[in-house]
Amino acid sequence: MTIDSVRGAPDTTEAAEPELVQLLTPEGERVEHPDYPLDLSAEEVRDLYRDLVIVRRIDLESVALTRQGELGIWASLLGQEAAQIGSGRALTEHDMVFPTYREHGVAWCRNVEPLNLLGLFRGVNHGGWDPAEHGFHLYTIVIGSQTLHATGYAMGVQRDGVLGTPSAGATIAYFGDGATSQGDVNESFVFASVFNAPIVFFCQNNQWAISEPLERQTRIPLYKRAQGFGFPGLRVDGNDVFACLAVTRKALENARTGQGPTLIEAFTYRMGAHTTTDDPTRYRLKAEEEAWKLKDPIERVKSYLVRNDLADSGFFDKVEDEAKQLSRELREACLALPDPDPMTMFDHVYAERHPLMTEEQEQFAAYLASFEEESK
């Protein structure tokens, strides 16, 4: 007898929970939602399409680079492009992003060079971009840790007294369905709630935490958890870039004007493996992947553009060429990334001089130099 047969199946499916904000159907049909009016120009839609195509292409290139041994590992965003581009393009200058390690699409929106991301997965550094410069914090590998950093940052924004002014920035924390089981994520919900912090919790529910299905993390739809913590939660079609843009815009604006946190559950699907070392054939059915393929986030925007005569084949070819060119350049730049000088291991451990760093660095330098002398 299974646990489910005793307690009844968990109520986590889309069918059991029809409340899903959607503005663009999988067939590319525009639908209206009373709470989320969205007026996009043809150019804005084309720009979103371009973003989606480019980040998918960069992602595919990175997977290929990993297969060829040029990256140590890669966490693919395949299938989650709309969730990331939609929310990423909702951000404005003063907003601050706290990503996991899969937010390549959001990084793109924040002008973090894709090469920087590859550097991390190639092993030349642990990140290395300046979070303040991009409004995009470093990738965080430990699941859920960044949600607390985001909450603290939002509490700082609150203390700066800028909420409600033009220089107000919201904070957005990205995490996945697996992370919702972490203590840190739940603690961040508590802190954000009791301090009414200007934060948006953006959960990409891609249905899988490596091999564990959503049912192993929750028995209720994730967005409903917000209610228990005392702030609004909603579920959005995570493969609908329009809807993701609209709901995130609204949640960010609520945060900036002092109305506190929102939990957005972007209902999506991880089309690829968890990372390049993972093998989804061991734990999930091909049929499930096929079903989600029909909800592809890029195809529906393309259908919308074609259906409404907003783009011609010349446009689609141009975007395709641009994406290919970018990934070619990225590949070349990746292969040309120099390995770091081993002596730099000791840099940036401390801000101020630290005798042990100095001592070990000097000893190591002398050790390395001894080989050079021998070979003379």
Partner 1 sequence: MTTLTLGKAMNEGLRKAMENDPKVLVMGEDVGKLGGVFRITDGLMKDFGEERVIDTPLAESGIIGTAIGLALRGYRPVCEIQFDGFVFPAADQIITQLAKMRMRSLGAVSLPVVVRIPCGGGIGAVEHHSESPEAYFTHTAGLRVVACSNPVDAYSMIQQSIASPDPVIFFEPKRRYWEKAEVDVDSSDWTPLHQARVVQPGDHVTVLAYGPSVKTCLEAAAAAAEEGRSLEVIDLRSLNPLDLGTVVDSVNRTGRCVVVHEAPVFSGFGAELAARITENCFYRLESPVLRVGGFSTPYPPSRVEDHYLPDLDRILDAVDRTFGW
Q: Per CB under 8 A, which of residues 117..136 are in contact with partner 1?
A: 125-133
Residue 29 amino acid letter = E
Q: What is the C-alpha to C-alpha distance for residues 219 and 221, in angstroms, rounded to an integer?
A: 7
Of 78-86, 103-111, 331-339, 349-357, the segment contacting partner 1 by CB under 8 A is 349-357
Instruction: Return the residue matching tokens 């953006």.
Output: 202
φ, ψ dihedrals at 63, nearest 5°: -60, -45
8 A C-beta contact, residue 229 and residue 193: yes
User: What is the number of other CB atoms lying within 10 angstroms of the CB of residue 77?
Assistant: 28
Of 37, 111, 159, 165, the one binding partner 1 by CB under 8 A: 159
Distance CA 343, CA 26 (A): 52
From candidates 89, 104, 149, 225, binder to partner 1 by CB under 8 A? 149
Q: How many residues bind partner 1 (CB under 8 A)?
A: 43
**C-alpha–C-alpha distance, residues 268 and 172, integer Å:** 18
Q: If you ran DSSP here, which 8-state letter would residue 219 be given?
A: S
Tell me how far, at minimum, the Cβ of 217 lies from partner 1, in Å. Answer: 19
Minimum distance from residue 327 beta carbon to partner 1 (Å): 25
Minimum distance between the CB of residue 71 and partner 1, rounded to whole angstroms?
A: 18
Tell me the CA distances in angstroms from 86 to 15, 19, 31, 80, 147, one per residue in order: 24, 19, 16, 10, 20
Q: Which is nearer to partner 1, 54 or 150 (CB)?
A: 150
Q: What is the DSSP letter of 212?
A: E
Shortest distance (Å) from residue 29 CB to partner 1: 41
Q: How far is the CB of 96 from partner 1 (least distance, A)?
A: 8
Subset of 178-237 contacting partner 1 (CB under 8 A): 183-184, 187-188, 190-191, 194
Output 192 or 305, the one with its CB closest to partner 1: 192
CB of 90 to partner 1, least distance (A): 21
What DSSP character marks residue 93? Answer: T
Shorter beta-carbon distance to partner 1: residue 19 or 347: 347
Catalogue the active-site residues.
270, 274, 283
First vs last Cα of the chain: how many Å apart? 73
Render the burial of 103-134: b for 16+ CB within 10 Å, e for the rest.
Answer: bbbbbbbbebebbbbbbbbbeeeebebebeeb
Q: Which residues contact 242 (CB under 8 A, 6 or more apart)?
A: 23, 24, 30, 38, 40, 48, 86
What's the rounded Cα separation, in Å, for the pair 138 and 126? 9
Q: How far is the CB of 253 from partner 1 (least distance, A)?
A: 20
> Interacting stretch for partner 1, rule CB under 8 A, among 205-213, 223-231, 244-252, 348-356?
348-356
> What is the nearest approach in angstroms of partner 1 to the Cβ of residue 126?
4
Q: Which of 286, 252, 251, 253 is nearest to 271 (CA)?
A: 286
- Candidates 343, 356, 365, 369; binder of partner 1 (CB under 8 A) is 356
338 binds partner 1 (CB under 8 A): no
Query: 75 near 275, Cβ under 8 Å?
Result: yes
Identified binder of partner 1 from the candidate list 76, 151, 206, 207, rule CB under 8 A: 151
Which residue from 58, 77, 83, 154 is in contact with partner 1, where contact means CB under 8 A? 154
> Residues 156, 164, 228, 342: which binds partner 1 (CB under 8 A)?
156
> Nearer Cβ to partner 1, position 147 or 262?
147
Could you give the 3-state DSSP secondary structure of residue 12? coil
CB nearer to partner 1: pick between 45 and 173: 173
Q: Which is nearer to partner 1, 127 or 232 (CB)?
A: 127
Compare residues 24 and 107 and give the one whose CB is closer to partner 1.
Answer: 107
Residue from 82, 106, 155, 163 binding partner 1 (CB under 8 A): 155
Single out the residue of 81, 45, 322, 42 nearest to residue 314, CA to CA. 322
Interface ranges with partner 1 (CB under 8 A)? 125-133, 137-138, 140, 142, 145, 147-157, 159-160, 183-184, 187-188, 190-191, 194, 347-352, 354-356
